[in-house]
Structures are given as structure tokens and as C-alpha cells.
Structure 1
């Protein structure tokens, strides 16, 4: 069984969809690659951002719950997502953010490389991490906050094929770094020991789940069987139109997903038009007029 190659997407919660769209397509320069609805709540958008083609490993997605209160990352949650850039790219980001009057912290050094941190409009922690051996522009990593990182580390290394790269400690902080072999985008996971003093609360500005890649449905079924054999409660395969998904809670409480690379985001609109129109799954098409009346209009996304 091959190892997980890295991240497929990361899904978070935001409040105002237009503000979220302006930040990710404007400040961060991402492309809106899919404008659809939450398949479980079609009165709410599901917005997907990524590179121009919507490549797995670049996709940041949001459920905009208008008026939702702020969340708080804590024990049992993913707390930050990082994008990968080479040294010149990170320097360019520092200059660009400074010229745009965007507040950020750093650079700080982490595992021998520089990282800067900024917050999106809902205060979700977004990092830009320097890398020498990973493609630029996609994900670098996610950070998980855990009361005890060891069971999660055993899952990632013993079952999902990750390797330990090392650990850094500082005042009140212990960060264990794991990496999937192959050096593909989003191959790094950082596990941070959480002291439990912060009350975790899901809401705007928090990460809902972390999705890993399966190259195809056969590989996904193999992961499903392997995880069930490890006594993890894994869902049946769910069709999300642009990928198929399985979900499970890792031992520390974070919701994990394994999503297939195919069929991809160009299945229902051509690559040059990605994100331009509201795309609905077939079962919601009869209700399109009603859904479009409920959803707030969005502009400036192409």
C-alpha cells in the first residue's frame, strides 16, 4: 500500500462570503475554482479556492455561515494552514503584504526555514512557509493542536505512511513535524501539543476538516479497509461530485477526510470558466431559482 501523498484540500468556516472571496482571490491571489453549495445545507455556499486548474493540494474551501460567531482553535482541531513558496517567493510575499498594509508576523524560523503568519478576515491563521523541496503555490502543511500528539503520530506514521522529521520545543510549545514521502504539495503535518487552557469552539475562522489525497477510487477503498482494520470509524464512500470522500476522526479528535483526485473541478464547467457560475448537484437543480434567491450575490471573482 502506498503512502498518502499529501493534502487534497482543507475546509474551514467563515462568516461573510464576499469578504472571504475578496481576501482569498485578492490578498492571497487564489482563484475561485468552484462556486457551489454545501451539499448538506444548500442554502449555504461552498466556495473552493486554488490554483488555476484546481489542482489537489492547492484547494482551500469554505462554508460561509452568515452571522456565525467567531470560533476558537484549540485541543482536537486543526489550527493553521500554510502555503509553500521558495525563498524568493517568501521575500516577495513579505514585500507585497507590507506594501498592501496587511498585518503579518515574522518571519520566524521553523525547522530551519522561514515562516510568516497572517490572519484572514475571520482570524483564521494563514502561514506562508519557505521550502526548498516542494512545489510553490500549493499547500505546505497544516497544524493540528492535540492534547497528546503520540496517538495521532502513530496513525500518520504507522498506517498513512508519514515519516517523522523532527521535533522543536520552545516556551510552552512542542511541535512534531511529519512528512509524506515524495515531496508533493501539502506533504507536511505539524502536531502541536495543546495545554488545554484554550477552549476549542467551532465557528467562523476555524478549520472544519483536513482532507488527504487518494489518487483514485481503488486507492481510496484500500485506505477505507486499512483504517477500518485499525478500528477507526470510517464512513461509506460519499460522492461530492468533484471527488469521492471518506471521513473519520483521528485519535486526537480532528476530522480527517480522504478525497480522490478525480474527477476534478472541470467535470461540469471548462477550466477557463471555473468559478464563474453557481454549480449545483443534480438533485438540487429543480430548486435552483429558490437557492439563488437565498444566496447573497458575489462579485469580483474571475
Structure 2
């Protein structure tokens, strides 16, 4: 039986300032803070989740707070760019004005393999593209939160392509196609003169929410992770049954991995591809309204049941965050 991913599930990045992070992603980008929790492996750190109205899989952008993190040194062996989808090309008119109004660093609109994109950075230099969903026939986007300060007709509707930068594309390409079931669909010129074309791979229904773009660079040192960097990308599977099939597949390939991990809001598997980039496989459910009412997602600190006995101790170590729009 053929198994394949449904698309991108979430991406997790690093911030050194959770309070400013909340302000940027909710008040400027207009995303919903859907879960305010902690890193389950290091509970002194916030783990913040942003997404569409209910944090549907494929819309989730998350951040670990590491207050002492040095700036990310961009380079090879990295997730070098993230994308956020907007409904159509016309939405860029709104976003360019908004970025100028709030002093967000951005470049001019570019063509990225036949799709319009607007490169920008957050306050820590996290590298993003707003990408247009115009003409998308693949994985559907989410639904912007109606209480967002950004009008719903131009709001962010989910995650777009994830960009990987590697010293040699072939090993990563082989992992994506031979192990993970992706297919190469096109190539487009590198943004850096003299470098090989960027290779586009897709999975599942394909389209904006199911792509990985691999850029080969022979002129870069390895990335040094820090604030403004990306920790990992997760790919969607339907349920635990499918996840366990992927665990068996990765083990059969003799790739080091985490085995089954229960994150409460979803179940996971972690492993590294040949260029040492961390991948996660995550289930679509149970979801973020498992322990909070949909109307009140992200308003208070949520802890999975196994951390609940430590709530008082955990809360004492965390700094308060801004109250988001409601």
C-alpha cells in the first residue's frame, strides 16, 4: 500500500523574545495565537503556535523561545526560508503597504518558479516569503481568523513551500523521493548567480502547501542555529496508524530516529535527512481544541496532562506575554 504525506504540517523556529514574537505575528501578520504552551523537552521555554482560525494542520507556525540565543548564522544544511500563503496576487498590494507602515523589512515581489512571492523578514531576521495561492490546485489553505486585525480577504491562509539549503542536493533529493515519496515537479533559477537551479519537490495533492524547494550552494559554511533560524519542518499524516507505518519505513531504511513521540496535540516521529536537516512526521489530530474551547485558544498557558502536576513551578519560570486581540 502506497503511503504519502498530505503536505506540510507545521514548521518550528527559534525566537529570543516571546513577547515581541507574539506582537509581530498576531498584530502585524494577523495570525491567531492558537496555543501558548512550553517546550515539552525543556519546560522553562515557551512554545508558541500560530495558525488559522483553529490551527488546522498546514497552517501552524511555531516558535521555541531561547532568550540567550545568539543570532542565526545563515548557511548550509539548513531550513533557509519559510513561506506563508495569501489568497491571490492582489493581496500583495495590501501587504506591501502594511509592511512599510510597520517597518517590516521586505523586498520587491519576485517570480518563484511561476508563483509570485514577496520576501520579508521578522524582527529577528527570520526569512519568509509571502506566496500567492492564485491558481493553486493542490492542498487547500486554511481560514483566516475573523478577529484578526488583517482583513480576511487578504489574510494568511497557511504555510507555503519550505526552502532547504544544502551543499549537495543529490542526497536530500534521494531522501525526499526514494524514502519519503516526494516527486520532482520543476526547477527554477537560483537567486544566486552561478549556482544550480532550485529543485521543487511536492507530495500528496501538491501545490502551495505541499512543496519543498532544495537549493544547492557550494559557497556557504554550515548554518549556526540561533534566533531567526528554523529548528525543523513537519509533514502531515492522517493518524497514528499511518505514523506507525512511517516509523517502520524509517527504521527499515536504518535511519536514526526518535521512534513514536506523543505530543498530546499530535503524535510524531523525528529523523534527520542526509544533510542533517531535522524532519518530523506528525498526525493531523487530535488538535489544539483538545484541552481548550475553540473560542479561547491561546488565551492561557496550556499544558499536556503529564506536565499539569508541574504547572505552578512552570508558570513561575515564565514571563507574562502580551494579551492578543480577541
Range of TM-score over shorter length:
over 0.9
Alpha-carbon displacement from aligned partner over 1:82-104 (angstroms, at most 9, x marks no partner): 01222122333223223433221
2:182 equivalent to 1:162: yes
> In 2 relative to 1, CA 233–52 (structure 1 residues): closer, same or farther, beyond 3 Å?
same
Q: Deviations over 1:96-123 (max 9, x none)?
A: 2234332211211111222111111111
Structure 2 distance, partners of 1:196, 1:101, is: 31
Q: Structure 1 residues 148 and 199 mapped into 2: Cα distance closer, same or farther (>3 Å)? A: closer
Match in the other structure for 1:57: 58
CA contact (8 A) 1:16 1:67 kept: no
Unaligned residue ranges in structure 1 (runs of 5+): none
For the structure 1 residues 93 and 179, does the alpha-carbon distance in structure 2 shift closer, same or farther, using more than 3 Å as the test? same
Q: How far apart, in 1, do the equivalents of 2:103 and 2:4 lie?
A: 41
Alignment of 1:19-98 (within 5 A): 19-85=20-86, 86-98=88-100
- Normalising by structure 2, we get a TM-score of 0.88
The CA distance in 1 between the partners of 2:324 and 2:315, in whole Å, is 17
Q: What CA distance in whole angstroms lies between the structure 1 residues aligned with 2:232 and 2:219?
A: 20
Please say if 1:253 is aligned against 2:254: no
Q: Does 1:17 align with 2:40?
A: no
Deviation at 1:168, TM superposition (A): 2.0
Residues 113-139 of structure 1: per-residue CA shift (max 9 Å, x gap):
221111111111011112321545111
What is the CA–CA distance in structure 1 between the aligned matches of 2:220 and 2:33, rounded to whole Å?
Answer: 36
- Residue in structure 1 matched with residue 309 of structure 2 by the alignment: 286
**Aligned positions of 1:67-216 closer than 5 A:** 67-85=68-86, 86-131=88-133, 132-133=135-136, 134=138, 135-136=140-141, 137-170=157-190, 171-173=193-195, 174-183=197-206, 186-216=209-239
Which stretch shifts more, 88-97 or 231-240? 88-97
Match of 1:2 in 2: 3
Contact kept? 1:147, 1:193, Cα under 8 Å: yes
In the alignment, which of 293, 306, 316 is matched to residue 270 of structure 1?
A: 293
Looking at secondary structure, tell me which structure has more strand per residue.
1
Contact between 1:74 and 1:196, CA under 8 Å: does it hold in 2?
no
- Report the CA distance shift for 1:107/1:121 in structure 2 as closer, same or farther (over 3 A): same
User: What TM-score, normalized by structure 1, do the two folds share?
Assistant: 0.95
- Equivalent pairs, count: 302
Cα distance in 2 for partners of 1:65, 1:99 equals 29
Superposition CA RMSD, Å = 1.6
Does structure 1 conserve the Cα–Cα contact (< 8 Å) formed by 2:104 and 2:123?
Answer: no
User: By how many angstroms is 1:197 displaced?
Assistant: 2.5
Cα distance change, pair 176–185 in 1 and its aligned pair in 2 (3 A):
closer
Contact 1:57 1:185 in 2 (8 A): no
